[in-house]
């Protein structure tokens, strides 16, 4: 009577290393796994997925904002979809008090329910204003507010800038940009900095949250963890000094980490004792990965013979 053995492909361990790139070509490698004698091992894992909620969106705006009478200031309005929301969002504004300040929003509609719009404030009348920005789509409606301060000409003030207004990054990577505070009209006050991110996800830190004398720099560092979804995030650095307030927005684009996917044509392999069997192992690139893959296959030490790999690379 012959004896049958099975080999669980998921007991194999795989290791891959990035090598010199191949001029932009996609790498697809197919391996054939040959076994003479191996061992039976089958396992099952169950996964439970939570149900999703209704499609919706969120709206945020950078702020507060302050500027000198006769000039302008801006706020970045960010609409973020949730639960596969994919509908047009129309933006409108309400100003309080309703005289003295003008606001324009461009674009005023986000066709696919996701994106960034710029609200531009202008005024020749010093004062304090509140601007409510509402996003509406069908029965859905959300509102965010921006406090706006208009100062008289030649009032001591400051500006805020960043060495980079956009950052492209991936999980496990930390990027930085330099925030600079510059005084105007003899401003010498202390400036307090704070940073926030929308939607939540990346971690943001400032090397210094206080700029004495109204002039100086602080390093803003953005770290993306392994559980952060790919997409666009807005980091807002707010700078305040008594009744003066300015903000700077930095757009952070997170892309998926380049990787590979390893699959097998079946979870087990059976054959008669003394015979051999084969299984096809396919390695395919994910998120633009290009490089050389090294596979290592192992079996338990008590197996009589170790499996062998017959490699067949395909470049395309």
Give residue 21's pLDDT.
39
257 in Cβ contact with 288 (< 8 Å): no
Please state whether beta strands 174-184 and 216-223 pair in parallel, antiparallel, or not at all (unpaired): antiparallel
Give residue 38's pLDDT.
41
Mean pLDDT confidence for 158-180? 92
Give residue 289's pLDDT.
67
Residue of 108, 86, 78 lying closest to 232 (CA atoms): 78
pLDDT tens digit sequence for 13-47: 333 333 333 333 434 444 444 444 444 343 444 44
Give residue 298's pLDDT.
74
| Statement: residue 50 has pLDDT above 80 | no
Give residue 295's pLDDT.
75
| Statement: residue 259 has pLDDT above 50 | yes
Comma-separated ranges of CATH 2.60.40.10 domains in the chain: 57-155
151 or 312, higher pLDDT: 151
Identify the CATH class of 57-155. mainly beta
Q: What percent of the chain has pLDDT over 70?
A: 76
Looking only at Cα atoms, what is the longest distance across the chain? Answer: 100
Mean pLDDT confidence for 267-279? 75
Give residue 25's pLDDT.
40
pLDDT tens digit sequence for 215-256: 999 999 999 988 888 888 889 999 999 888 898 989 999 987
Distance of CA 1 to the CA centre of its chain: 60
DSSP sequence for 143-165: EEEEEEEEEPTT--EEEEEES-S
Measured between alpha carbons, how far is 198 from 179 in angstroms, rounded to an integer? 18
Give residue 311's pLDDT.
60
CA atoms within 13 A on the CB side of 290: 10
Give residue 288's pLDDT.
63
Average pLDDT, the chain: 80
Q: Residue 182, Cβ neighbours under 10 Å: how many?
A: 14
Measured between alpha carbons, how far is 232 from 126 in angstroms, rounded to an integer? 35
pLDDT tens digit sequence for 75-90: 999 998 988 899 999 9
């Amino acid at each position: 009577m012959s004896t049958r053995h099975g080999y669980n492909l998921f007991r194999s361990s795989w290791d891959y290393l990035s090598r010199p790139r191949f001029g932009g070509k996609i790498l697809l490698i197919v391996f054939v796994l040959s076994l003479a004698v191996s061992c039976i091992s089958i396992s099952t894992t169950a996964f439970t997925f939570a149900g999703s909620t209704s499609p919706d969106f969120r709206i945020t705006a950078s702020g507060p904002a302050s500027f000198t009478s006769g000039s302008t200031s801006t706020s970045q309005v960010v609409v973020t979809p949730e639960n596969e929301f994919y509908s047009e969002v129309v933006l409108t504004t309400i100003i309080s008090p309703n005289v003295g300040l003008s606001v324009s929003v461009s674009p005023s509609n986000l066709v696919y329910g996701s994106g960034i719009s710029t609200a531009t404030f202008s005024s020749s009348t010093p004062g304090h204003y509140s601007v409510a920005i509402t996003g509406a789509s069908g029965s859905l409606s959300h509102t965010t507010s921006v406090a706006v301060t208009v100062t008289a000409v030649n009032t001591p003030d400051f500006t805020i800038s960043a060495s980079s207004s956009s950052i492209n990054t991936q999980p496990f990577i930390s990027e930085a940009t330099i925030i600079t505070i510059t005084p105007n009209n003899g401003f010498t006050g202390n400036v307090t900095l704070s940073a926030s991110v929308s939607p939540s996800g990346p971690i943001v830190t400032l090397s210094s949250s206080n700029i004495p004398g109204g002039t100086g720099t602080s390093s803003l560092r953005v770290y993306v963890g392994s559980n952060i979804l790919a997409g666009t995030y807005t980091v807002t650095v707010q700078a305040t000094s008594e009744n003066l307030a300015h903000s700077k927005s930095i757009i952070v684009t997170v892309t998926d980490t380049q990787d590979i996917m390893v699959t097998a044509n079946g979870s087990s392999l059976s054959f008669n004792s003394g015979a051999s069997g084969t299984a096809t192992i396919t390695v395919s690139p994910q998120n633009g990965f290009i490089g050389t893959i090294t596979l290592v296959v192992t079996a338990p030490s008590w197996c009589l013979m170790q499996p062998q790999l017959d490699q067949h690379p395909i470049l395309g």
